[in-house]
Amino acid sequence: MKSASFLVFVCLLRFTHAQGLDLGTISHAPSLVANLCQNYNETSGLAFYKDTILSINDSGNEPILHALRSSDAQHLQSWPIANALNLDWEAIALSATNVFIGDVGNNMGKRTTLAIYRLDRSLLLPSTTALTAQKLNFKFADQPAVPLPANAHNYDCEAMFFWQDSLHLLSKNWQNLWTRHYVLPTNWQDTLVVSPRDSFYVNGLVTDAAMDVQTNQIYFLGYKKELSGLYSAFMYRFLNNNDLFLGSDFQRIELGSALSLAQTEGLCMSGANKGFITGEQIVSVITIAPKLHSFDFKKRSEAFE
């Protein structure tokens, strides 16, 4: 009986962490569109909307939604959100009717309640001078008691995408370099408590995610500290057949050094197998300006699919 019980446990464990076939690692050098102006020094989340890229800045910045032109990275407009606070804005997602801003960052490990701001997408007009939002509070059911050690725990979050009437969040695990996948509705009352659906060993820190609606593939963006002490950027893409999410076949894509890409924080898809990445400014021994890069995996998509 003891052996049988152990076998059941092992089977359940494998199911919980089931993942698809590793299709290998490739390298890809994104194309520089332009350095960004100071409005985007801490760009932390992206969404693509009518040839325009929407972006936000993270903690320490005002609650403002920015828009820039995708062709040359020129700043187009800023919409202050009158009834919102930017504790640590990290992600944007779009549905057919709404914009969702994820106030979900928790680098310092002090937050127990996170929030999504829900806005009316139809109000993103040149004539609109300010926006208002509905605040949706939630908690991770599996998060231990805080405070957690700063930049050394598994309950930070910077990635979110919309798919099939739900919001999908990916954790940024400083401690073990995995990510957990949570699924939330797009509207609720009171404070929602959510449990992880699945998980994946990233071997890095996930900073954004996006759904390619034309191919049904999921993309992650992130960075990793190398043995040299420098940081490199990467992406993952998941085939997502039958909506398997992190359990589907996957491929890692090495993008290059943060010295050329800046700190990769924002990701959006603009079409099948292509999109944009932003890197926030790095201020260290040298200063690296915030940047907008584009990528296109069309030539490599057939082998993956």
Instruction: Report the number of distinct structural domains present in the chain.
Output: 1
Domain membership flag for residue 57: yes
Which of 178, 168, 173, 121 is CA-nearest to residue 149? 173
Mean pLDDT to the nearest integer, 273-279: 98
Q: Does 20 map to a domain?
A: no
Domain assignment present for 221: yes
Amino acid occupying residue 123: L
Half-sphere exposure for 288 (CA within 13 Å, toward CB): 17
Q: In whole angstroms, give the CA distance from residue 28 to residue 256.
A: 8
What does the pLDDT look like over 4-51, one tens digit per residue? 443 333 333 333 456 899 999 999 999 999 999 999 999 999 999 989
Q: Residue 146: which domain range? A: 29-304
- For range 173-177, the mean pLDDT: 98
Cα separation, 160 vs 295, whole angstroms? 20
* Percent of the chain scoring above 90 in pLDDT: 89
Sheet of strand 217-225: strand arrangement: 22-27, 250-257, 231-238, 217-225, 205-212
Q: Evaluate whether residue 18 is within a structural domain.
A: no
Residue 3 domain-assigned?
A: no
CATH number at residue 114: 2.115.10
Residue 171 β-bridge partners:
157
Query: Mean pLDDT across the chain, nearest whole number?
Result: 93
What is the signed CA dihedral for 120, 121, 124, 127, rounded to 10 degrees? -50
- For 112-163, what is each residue's pLDDT tens digit? 999 999 999 999 999 999 999 999 999 999 999 888 999 999 999 999 999 9
Place of tokens 């089931």: 18
Instruction: Return the pLDDT at 18.
Output: 65
Give a yes or no: residue 12 inside a domain: no
User: How much is the pTM?
Assistant: 0.93
Place of tokens 């890197």: 279
Q: Is residue 21 part of a domain?
A: no
Any domain includes 255 = yes
Give the Å distances, CA to CA, from 252 to 21, 63, 204, 294. Answer: 12, 33, 11, 17
